[in-house]
A and B are shown apart, each in its own frame.
Chain A
Amino acid sequence: MQPAHRFRWIPAYCISFSFILIICELCSGPAYAQVPPQSLLEGKIVLVLHAFESNIPIFELTDRGLRTTLDAGGVGIRNQFFEYLDLARNPGPEYRKHLAELMRLRYGQRKIDVIITLYLAALQFALDEGETIFPEIPIIALYLPPGFEPQKAGRRIIRQTIELDMLGTLESALGLVSGAKHVYVVSGALDVDRKYEDQARRSFKKWEKQLEFRYLSDMPLEEILDTVSAAPPGTIVLLMGFGADVTGKNYTTREVGERLSRVSKAPVFGLLQVVLGYGIAGGNLVNFEYVGTRAGELTLDILRGTRAPENIPPILAVPSLPMFDWRQLKRWNLSEAALPEGSIVINRETTFWDFKYYILGGLALMIGQSLLIAGLMIQRRRRRLAEESLSRAEEKYRNIFDSALEGIYETSPQGQFLTANRALARMLGYDSPEEVISLIGDAANQVWADPNDRADYLRLLDEQNVIRGFECRFLRKDGTKFWVSLNTRRVSGPDGQTLFYSGFLEDITARKQDEEALKERLNFEMLMAEISALFVNLPADRIDSEIEAAQRRVCELLGLDRATLWQVPENEPGMLLLTHFHQPPGSLLPPARMSLKEFFPWTFKKVLGGEALTISKMTDLPAEAYKDRETFIHYDTKSNVIVPLSVGKNEVFGLLTFAVMHEERNWPETLVMRLKLIAQVFANALARRRTEQALLQRTEELDKFFSVTLDLLCIANFEGYFLRLNPAWEKVLSYSREELMARRLYDFVHPDDLAGTREAVSRLAAQREVIHFENRYRCKDGTYRWLEWTSAPAGELIYSAARDVTLRKQKEEALRERLQFEHLLSGLSARFVNMPPDQVDSEIEGGLKQILEFFQIDRCGLLRLLLDKTAFQITHVASSDDVPPVPEGVELPRSLYPWTYDILAENNEALSVSRLDDLPAEANVDRRTCIEWGIRSYVNIPILIRESINHIISINSVKGERVWPEELLPRLRLLGEIFVNALIRKEAEGEAMNARSELLRMERLSRMGELTSSLAHEINQPLSAIRTNAEAAQRFLSGVAPDIGEVRQILEDIIRDDRRANDVVQKVRALVRKEKPQEEILDLNKTIQEVVGLIRSEFLLQGLSFAMELSPDLKMIRGDRIQLQQVILNLILNSAAAMRNSPRAQRKITVKTAMPDSGTVKASVTDFGTGIDQNNIELLFEPFYTTKPDGLGMGLSISQRIITAHGGSLKASNNPQGGATFAFTLPAHPGDAP
């Protein structure tokens, strides 16, 4: 155990040393830059261009070295510029262009003195894009690839390349690993990795005879790991650069180092600083911080001008530094003594690196830990004091020796003193040397405390003749023992017989005591270090056992009997609970609970302030501490020390006590300090556990909440993957959580909500909260649920709570649907209000289509009940695109669906059928018809107008059965009513329209009459003039002297007026001709009825009656309806005029039609009027013949022309019974029967 024992205290030394080193570095900077000529560098600017992003470890380390050196050298922080160009993640010229613009913006106006670039990409950027921004400024280019030669750049470029010290590392490793036989060289497969591997092969040539080398680079990492894990004893693993393995998978060297170390059967050595601390033992490492330091120094040289430019070599060489990891050395049992001179040792186990976990652990713990660090520093100081006192003891020894104050003696082999000096006598407690000689006859028993020692001593002397520094204990005269160191020579006679022993001795009691004390202290320091180290990362469940183990060890080491740890329960401030203890077996066990006030009132008051309390003996306790004393005595405590437990400045939450039961003792300040440190370690661990437990409890609570809450909770990332989901998700969506997490959440979002969801996620990615966001998620059965989200980003994650708001949404949806329906309804009703009748049909079809879409039904139609009530006829129908259409006009007789028909047409009740199976037995026929027509569900609603049904609106589902919601019926009915009302109005308006067109026609006819009346005036005018002129001429001629000239003039005027009258007649004819006949196939009966309908009421008022004798077998004719009607009207009006003076009873007009032969249609108008004057019967059809006082004499003339134009003839005759008959014939339209 001795070597290990010795080894153990080294770490404490190292810890402190490296810690101090770091502190020094951080605080004061390197020694070489102690007195910077500040003024020289004022205003000097250094620009550092990093090729890549800022979080690269190599950059961090390099920057630290640079900064420290530049700071110390007097280049102020404000004049150090660090740029991270991020070129690897942003390839392409566009980025470089913008970046260059940015650089110009930043540095175009600054005078930069030195540029430092990291990696080739940064150098190239500075030379290319930076050509005009940073012209001619010297560049220190770090981390260039091996063998890189820059082109002439017109400026100074000092290059640095990463040189791996493979040979140095190998040799360091060989120094540490005794008897090494194998070297495994692990290397990556990238070009640069290969380059270094080749270099290694060359470097290791000289060792190839002694060592077996294996180069592990042509295999996947997994295989490398396997190989290394099976390495035979005596192997050294050497890790080179590792950017990717042979399969092309990318790694970092650090990562590989970490994995290698984890599985390796042999210590792993490396070449890069970035790997240290991640499992490798160490090596001659490229120290990036040191590269930074060296680059900084060079920069300072350039800035100061202390070295002429030509004296600065173009290459900056930075040696690797031997660096090792203490923890790994310990793991592989490698002796630190064998480390190369100047090695830097880091110890991951207890260096400040580990405190980062504490810092993460919480502020309280951190404060506690800083106390521990302080404690550790104190320990180091103590140890140094002990060393100093040791050397003082040695000095003392030498003084005694030099001044002959040592005991000098000669003794016989029998044990008698032959000579002795005063010093000896004094040491042995005798008054004088004489007394020594006289009184001591048997040294073996009188002087030697242990006679066995003497036997050994004599044996050694026999063997060696000389013995130096034999340490043993002697007895004084009074029987007390003391330590001596003997230096003796055997003086022998010629035959080898021992004559006597001569020598001197030294009282080494003091030294021994010092040594003992030192040993004890060292032991304690070791224990301290171990405990501190152990508790740093101790899992909570081991804290209790380790505290008790530590209590035991402290007791054993310090010779204490009992250690107890009490804690104040959080909910019982006045109580103490015994939570950890160590005590000798058989002693009285302290109670598990104690009341502070009852048992330790005084003590607790004392320690409450955080100070430790020592009680050497119970009698030291003051009178007011009688209760405490009673308690201590009760538990056999003779002497004790009580240390409060607290963390940082928080209140005391417990006590750590150490007691001695067998004796009273003193508690040196140094010991109490250590115990306080122990207490601190415990307190930290307990506090940490409390925090952890609280955290655990909180976590459990959260977990519980997470699992029981009805809300949907989740954690997701910005890529849209769920990372955690609570069980409520499964309830709501029916998917298992695994299913939900297996896909991106977008896969579950309703397509219509995708864009919004993506936007919400990008909002979150921009670290903004999203509240009240709603979207639809698909359930396993394909339906969708509405979720309302509240989400908050936290770093890379999204924390969301969602609520199933489907019900609310459905209500909203229903409301919205309701509104939409109202909208549809109001739209349709508004549209149908003033719709021209000719648009009604197409608009109804449009409306039916809207209904289809709105209610998502397959087919919707309007059916009319036929007048004879035998069938419904489809008048309008709309079918969705994916179902077969139904033709309009189809009649559906009752016999096909008697049951349905009766409900609709007889009972006037609506009928809603969701499934054909719901139809009653008596509806068998209906069911069969439905099946035949492919109808699966249907709704028929009678539309009652003025309490009678003449239409139904019908919808049916073809694609599947459908449950018809109750609210559908009234809605459909409303829509149906709109349509049917429109239809009814259309019919009414159609009638009105006909009437109107009749009116128009009548207007046209009467306009003709008006025209003729104005024509009459125009014709009358010249006729009157002619007549008057003619009569005037007669008068002139019958006079005594007729003025012939006058008469001639009159005749000329007469001729002119006659022409004028003729013109008017031509004009009328032209007018009549202008009405182009619009030929069509006509039913003459209908044509006559229309005319009669037009004038009947008027004639009735005049007391005229009509008799119609229309032949039902009349053939169709071809002609212009208006012209023919004009003829008929003319004949009727003539007849009416002829009966103006007839007795009322006789005023009757008979209109007849007949077919005198199969090719002729005949119509006649007969009256009982005055008849036709037989003398004038030839004149009847001449223009301007009239019998009417206000007649023009054109009607019959025009009528005849019209009839003649139609290929017929118009004739007039007197009736035998009186009155006249006007009749016309027209050729029948061939082959046309009515």
Chain B
Amino acid sequence: VTEDKPVIYVVDDDPSMRKALERLLRSAGHDAKAFGSALEFLDFNHPDTPGCLILDIKMPKLSGLELQERLVQKGISFPIVFITGHGTVPASVKAFKAGAMDFLQKPFKDAELLDAVSRGVEKHRHLRQEQNEIKGLRAKLDTLSPREREVLTLVASGMLNKQVAFELGTAEKTIKVHRARVMEKMGARSFADLVRFAEKLGVRSPAA
């Protein structure tokens, strides 16, 4: 996990502000990378590390809000801290709705920004863990036979073995066998784990 040194990205069209922000982040021990425009940032192939994005709302060509939209579309999930010279309510509402981390009005206090950035990085880190776990579970899920998947689905929805057997038109014993195999294949140490996995994977019984 230590290798995952977060990177803070800054996108601001004002060079002196950009430079000042980069400095501030470095002074707080962050790795910072600054971009003069939204497009520059989109072109940049960022490393698979946790991070946070500081975005000026008012920029020529692609504005901060528009960049946010594009990132959501591309599945890039950096938390974003917006900074603006002349904040407006509609803009901030829009930004928050699209998942903005914070919305700071210039001039802001350094602590405000660094705090927002830290929270952002933390959030991203968490987000990345979650994503990795689901990735593993999905790989395990793929090893299940169709029958085992059906059993998983029904069991995760809270049905008793007996009920599942009835539902699938088989014996309770058979269900027990299937259940044990599913637990094994999914790496679940307890039935509660299994249900949690199922939940994360979004496996649900249609009847539920």
Question: In the assembled complex, which residues on chain B have CB atoms less than 8 Å from the CB atom of A457?
Answer: none
Q: Which residue of B lies closest to A1020 (CB)?
A: B85
A1017-B86, A1021-B17, A1025-B16 known; A1031 vs B109 contact (CB < 8 Å): yes
Question: In the assembled complex, which residues on chain A have CB atoms less than 8 Å from the CB atom of B166?
Answer: none
Query: A1031–B20 Cα gap in the complex (Å)?
Result: 9
- Interface readout for A1019-1040 with B: 1 if CB under 8 Å, 0 if not? 0111111111101101110010
Counting CB contacts under 8 A, is A1053 at the interface? yes
Query: A1024–B21 Cα gap in the complex (Å)?
Result: 10
Counting CB contacts under 8 A, is B19 at the interface? yes
- Chain B's interface size range is 20 to 34
Counting CB contacts under 8 A, is A1056 at the interface? yes
A674 to chain B, nearest CB (A): 141
Question: In the assembled complex, which residues on chain A have CB atoms less than 8 Å from the CB atom of B21?
Answer: 1028
B107, A1016: Cβ atoms under 8 Å? Answer: no
Q: Which of B66-109 contact A (CB under 8 A)?
A: 83, 85-86, 106-109
A1022, B16: Cβ atoms under 8 Å? Answer: yes
Residue of A1025, A1053, A1060 contacting most chain B CB atoms (<10 Å): A1025
Question: In the assembled complex, which residues on chain A have CB atoms less than 8 Å from the CB atom of B113?
Answer: 1028
Query: A46–B115 Cα gap in the complex (Å)?
Result: 140
A1020, B27: Cβ atoms under 8 Å? Answer: no
A1053, B19: Cβ atoms under 8 Å? Answer: yes
Counting CB contacts under 8 A, is B110 at the interface? yes
Query: A1022–B106 Cα gap in the complex (Å)?
Result: 10
A1017-B58, A1035-B28 known; A1028 vs B110 contact (CB < 8 Å): yes
Question: In the assembled complex, which residues on chain A have CB atoms less than 8 Å from the CB atom of B58?
Answer: 1017
Interface size (A, Cβ < 8 Å)? 26
Contact pick for A1056, options B16, B23, B27, CB 8 Å:
B16
B24, A1020: Cβ atoms under 8 Å? Answer: no
Contact pick for A1024, options B17, B19, B26, CB 8 Å:
B17
Query: A1016–B105 Cα gap in the complex (Å)?
Result: 13
Question: In the assembled complex, which residues on chain A have CB atoms less than 8 Å from the CB atom of B19?
Answer: 1025, 1029, 1053
B45 to chain A, nearest CB (A): 28
Q: Which residue of B lies closest to A1022 (CB)?
A: B16
Query: A1029–B106 Cα gap in the complex (Å)?
Result: 13
Counting CB contacts under 8 A, is A297 at the interface? no
Question: In the assembled complex, which residues on chain B have CB atoms less than 8 Å from the CB atom of A1053?
Answer: 16, 19-20
A1053-B19, A1056-B16 known; A1023 vs B106 contact (CB < 8 Å): yes
Query: A1039–B27 Cα gap in the complex (Å)?
Result: 8
Contact pick for A1023, options B24, B83, B107, CB 8 Å:
B107
A1021, B23: Cβ atoms under 8 Å? Answer: no
- Interface readout for A822-836 with B: 1 if CB under 8 Å, 0 if not? 000000000000000
B105 to chain A, nearest CB (A): 9
Query: A1057–B14 Cα gap in the complex (Å)?
Result: 11
Contact pick for A1021, options B24, B27, B106, CB 8 Å:
B106
B19 to chain A, nearest CB (A): 7
Q: Which residue of A lies closest to B13 (CB)?
A: A1021
Q: Which residue of B lies closest to A1054 (CB)?
A: B20
Q: Which residue of A lies closest to B108 (CB)?
A: A1024
Counting CB contacts under 8 A, is A335 at the interface? no
B85, A1032: Cβ atoms under 8 Å? Answer: no
Contact pick for A1017, options B20, B26, B85, CB 8 Å:
B85
A245 to chain B, nearest CB (A): 118
A1016-B85, A1024-B85 known; A1035 vs B24 contact (CB < 8 Å): yes
Counting CB contacts under 8 A, is A1190 at the interface? yes
A1017-B58, A1024-B106, A1028-B107 known; A1035 vs B27 contact (CB < 8 Å): yes
A1043 to chain B, nearest CB (A): 9
Query: A1032–B26 Cα gap in the complex (Å)?
Result: 8
Question: In the assembled complex, which residues on chain A have CB atoms less than 8 Å from the CB atom of B24?
Answer: 1028-1029, 1031-1032, 1035
B16 to chain A, nearest CB (A): 4
A1050, B23: Cβ atoms under 8 Å? Answer: yes
A1017-B85, A1017-B86 known; A1046 vs B23 contact (CB < 8 Å): yes
Counting CB contacts under 8 A, is A1013 at the interface? yes
A1025, B27: Cβ atoms under 8 Å? Answer: no
A1025, B110: Cβ atoms under 8 Å? Answer: no
A504 to chain B, nearest CB (A): 176
A1016, B86: Cβ atoms under 8 Å? Answer: yes
Question: In the assembled complex, which residues on chain B have CB atoms less than 8 Å from the CB atom of A1024?
Answer: 17, 20, 83, 85, 106-108
Question: In the assembled complex, which residues on chain B have CB atoms less than 8 Å from the CB atom of A1013?
Answer: 86
Q: Which residue of B lies closest to A1056 (CB)?
A: B16
Q: Which of B1-18 contact A (CB under 8 A)?
A: 14, 16-17
Question: In the assembled complex, which residues on chain A have CB atoms less than 8 Å from the CB atom of B83?
Answer: 1024
Question: In the assembled complex, which residues on chain B have CB atoms less than 8 Å from the CB atom of A1039?
Answer: 27
Question: In the assembled complex, which residues on chain B have CB atoms less than 8 Å from the CB atom of A1025?
Answer: 14, 16-17, 19-20
B63 to chain A, nearest CB (A): 13
B85, A1029: Cβ atoms under 8 Å? Answer: no
B208 to chain A, nearest CB (A): 50
Query: A1025–B17 Cα gap in the complex (Å)?
Result: 5
Query: A1017–B17 Cα gap in the complex (Å)?
Result: 13
Q: Which residue of A lies closest to B21 (CB)?
A: A1028
Question: In the assembled complex, which residues on chain A have CB atoms less than 8 Å from the CB atom of B106?
Answer: 1020-1021, 1023-1024
Q: Which of A215-252 contact B (CB under 8 A)?
A: none
A1032 to chain B, nearest CB (A): 4
Q: Which residue of A lies closest to B19 (CB)?
A: A1053
A1031, B86: Cβ atoms under 8 Å? Answer: no
A1031, B110: Cβ atoms under 8 Å? Answer: yes
A1016-B85, A1022-B16, A1053-B20 known; A1032 vs B108 contact (CB < 8 Å): no
Question: In the assembled complex, which residues on chain B have CB atoms less than 8 Å from the CB atom of A1056?
Answer: 16
Contact pick for B86, options A1020, A1029, A1050, CB 8 Å:
A1020
A1020-B85, A1035-B27, A1039-B27 known; A1027 vs B107 contact (CB < 8 Å): yes
A1034 to chain B, nearest CB (A): 8
B22 to chain A, nearest CB (A): 9
B89 to chain A, nearest CB (A): 11
B110, A1035: Cβ atoms under 8 Å? Answer: yes
Query: A1035–B29 Cα gap in the complex (Å)?
Result: 10
Query: A1021–B21 Cα gap in the complex (Å)?
Result: 12
Question: In the assembled complex, which residues on chain A have CB atoms less than 8 Å from the CB atom of B26?
Answer: 1032
Query: A1022–B109 Cα gap in the complex (Å)?
Result: 15
Residue of B16, B19, B85, B106 contacting most chain A CB atoms (<10 Å): B16
Q: Which residue of A lies closest to B86 (CB)?
A: A1017
Q: Which of A65-113 contact B (CB under 8 A)?
A: none
Listed A/B pairs (30) with beta-carbon separation below 8 Å: A1013-B86, A1016-B85, A1020-B85, A1020-B86, A1020-B107, A1021-B16, A1021-B85, A1023-B106, A1025-B14, A1025-B17, A1025-B20, A1027-B107, A1027-B108, A1028-B21, A1028-B108, A1028-B110, A1029-B19, A1029-B20, A1029-B24, A1031-B24, A1031-B109, A1032-B23, A1032-B26, A1034-B110, A1035-B27, A1036-B27, A1039-B27, A1046-B23, A1050-B20, A1056-B16
Could you tell me which B residues sit within 8 Å of A by CB distance? 14, 16-17, 19-21, 23-24, 26-28, 58, 83, 85-86, 106-110, 113
14 extra interface residue pairs, beta carbon distance < 8 Å, beyond A1024-B106, A1050-B23 = A1020-B107, A1021-B14, A1021-B16, A1024-B108, A1028-B17, A1028-B23, A1028-B24, A1031-B110, A1032-B27, A1034-B110, A1046-B23, A1050-B20, A1053-B19, A1056-B16
